[in-house]
Amino acid sequence: MALSPLPQSLLKMMHDSKEFFPFLAQLEIPPEWEAAALRFLEVGGVAMVLGGADTGKSTLSRYLIYRAFTAGEPVALVDLDLGQSHLGPPAALGLGLFPPRFPGDDGLFPEGLYFVGQTSPVGVILEVAVGCRSLVDLAQEEGADRVVVNTCGLIKGPASFRLKGAKLELLRPRMILALDREGELGPLLRSLVGEDADTVMVLPVSDRATGRPPEERRRYREERFRRYFQKARPLNLPFGSFGWQGLPWGQGQPLKGVELEHFRHKLHAPVLYGEAQEQGTMLLLTEPPQGDLSWVCAAGVQCLSWPALEGQLVGLQDKTHRTLALGLILPSPWDQGILTLLTPLPSSQAPRVGFLRMGKMKLTSEGRELPRILS
């Protein structure tokens, strides 16, 4: 369904109202930001916000959304910051539509999610690039003629140039709003668009932008995760009802009962699940195997004990690979062919799950980040 703007009478009443938009009280808008907002209203399309960490990207993005919303223009925000996300939980890209949302809404359950599975874009450039294009497409399908893309703070090093270049080619933004702190974006902008590109507006960093130490950033992530899983419930998914994506599963053919029994006798330990993969056999055990295991490596068998999977973050996707929700792997009745997840996805939506994408993080149910075991 296409987005519909709110009635003009209501928009007029809302305009400049801190009652409707409390975040306005925290804003100090430089003249250059106001000029960028006016330009965004004029040209529409996709506006990409660039800047390093703690330069005010989210604040500028929120203000652009506010200006379009109160002008009666349906608008969308795509949040690409995996670690310090303002739409949805960390480790996922988020899409918000305005309306039905109000500017300043930092909801954990936005209109669109794209699960990546970690809180840094390094090593997952392809996934982030595909995800940003997917969410922009979804926003435009829903009728948002204006889309603000809030990028992450990675602006230095080869990964940043590859990632920002991929986003630029995929999105073809009409505007690039660069929050430049002491010329730090110069090399990146020259690599992306050359000198004096008409699409680029170089903007000052807000005086209110302040740096946050790593510990504060970690607490922010964990609080977002905690709130996301606060009302989550266990959900049982039968094997065979979904496909795996991402290591260590989904790379081969699931083993059958007689094959699992064979390995149980060889290892003298219960085997919960297994796959015959191109590089060998992957087995999931209740505990590490004991005894002489010299044959294991020789036979190309890899063993993974259950604790390595408990608390693993996963993305629940439908059959078109759109993310429905995030989940955590719980102790499961594997011998009954059941996987149990902690997820806010209602049990009534379980039939929609077509794939589980493995992330690269482990969490407690309270959102605390645990040491990573899987590579």
Q: Which amino acid is at 12?
A: K
Query: 74 and 197, same structural domain?
Result: yes
pLDDT in tens, 236-268: 999 889 988 887 888 888 888 899 888 888 888
Average pLDDT value for residue range 348-365: 95
Closest CA to 324 of 71, 144, 119, 88: 88
Query: 165 and 97, same structural domain?
Result: yes
pLDDT in tens, 282-306: 998 887 777 667 777 677 888 888 7
Average pLDDT value for residue range 203-217: 83
Query: 98 and 29, same structural domain?
Result: yes
145 is in which domain, residue-wise? 8-214
Q: What percent of the chain clears pLDDT 70, i.e. is strictly above it?
A: 91
Residue 176 has phi, psi (to 5 degrees) of -120, 115
Written as six digits, the tokens of 171 are: 């999105």
259 vs 276: CA distance, rounded Å = 10
Residue 141 vs residue 308, higher pLDDT: 141
Q: What is the pTM of this model?
A: 0.89
Structural domain ending residue among the three candidates 184, 214, 244:
214
pLDDT in tens, 87-109: 999 999 999 999 999 998 889 99
Closest CA to 88 of 214, 209, 217, 221: 221
Is 1 contained in some domain? no
Is 225 contained in some domain? no
Query: 245 and 194, same structural domain?
Result: no
Whether residue 360 is predicted with pLDDT greater than 50 in this model: the reply is yes
Closest CA to 80 of 173, 9, 157, 4: 173
Closest CA to 35 of 47, 51, 18, 22: 47
Structural domain ending residue among the three candidates 158, 185, 214:
214
Query: 142 and 183, same structural domain?
Result: yes
281 vs 334: CA distance, rounded Å = 18
Q: How many Cβ atoms are within 10 Å of 372's Cβ, its own excluded?
A: 13
Cα 75 off chain centre by: 20
CA distances from 327 to 13, 231, 301, 315 (A): 41, 12, 28, 6
Is 223 contained in some domain? no
347 vs 173: CA distance, rounded Å = 39
Number of domains in the chain: 2
Per-residue pLDDT, 284? 87
* DSSP string covering 122-183: TT-HHHHHHHHHHHHHHHHHTT-SEEEEE--S--SSHHHHHHHHHHHHHH--SEEEEE-STT
102 vs 86: CA distance, rounded Å = 14
166 vs 181: CA distance, rounded Å = 23
Per-residue pLDDT, 375? 46
pLDDT in tens, 337-348: 889 999 999 999
Query: 305 and 194, same structural domain?
Result: no
Residues 45 and 174: beta-carbon distance below 8 Å? yes
Is 228 contained in some domain? no
* DSSP string covering 14-51: HTT-TTT-GGGGG----HHHHHHHHHHHHH-EEEEEEE
**Residue 206, domain CATH:** 3.40.50.300
Per-residue pLDDT, 212? 83
Cβ neighbors of 97 (< 8 A, separation 6 or more) are 3, 74, 76, 111, 139, 142, 144
Query: 127 and 52, same structural domain?
Result: yes
Is 199 contained in some domain? yes
Is 52 contained in some domain? yes
Is 188 contained in some domain? yes
Per-residue pLDDT, 294? 73
**Residue 298, domain CATH:** 2.40.30.330
* H helices present in 194-311, as ranges: 214-228, 257-267, 294-298
Is 221 contained in some domain? no
Structural domain ending residue among the three candidates 214, 243, 276:
214
Residue 53 has phi, psi (to 5 degrees) of -65, 140
Per-residue pLDDT, 232? 98
Whether residue 15 is predicted with pLDDT greater than 60 in this model: the reply is no
Query: 151 and 253, same structural domain?
Result: no
Per-residue pLDDT, 228? 98
Q: Which amino acid is at 77?
A: L
211 three-state secondary structure: coil
Query: 188 and 110, same structural domain?
Result: yes
Query: 254 and 209, same structural domain?
Result: no
Residue 74: band (very low, low, confident or very high) from pLDDT cuts 50, 70, 90: very high
Query: 250 and 196, same structural domain?
Result: no
Q: How many Cβ atoms are within 10 Å of 291's Cβ, its own excluded?
A: 9
Query: 277 and 188, same structural domain?
Result: no
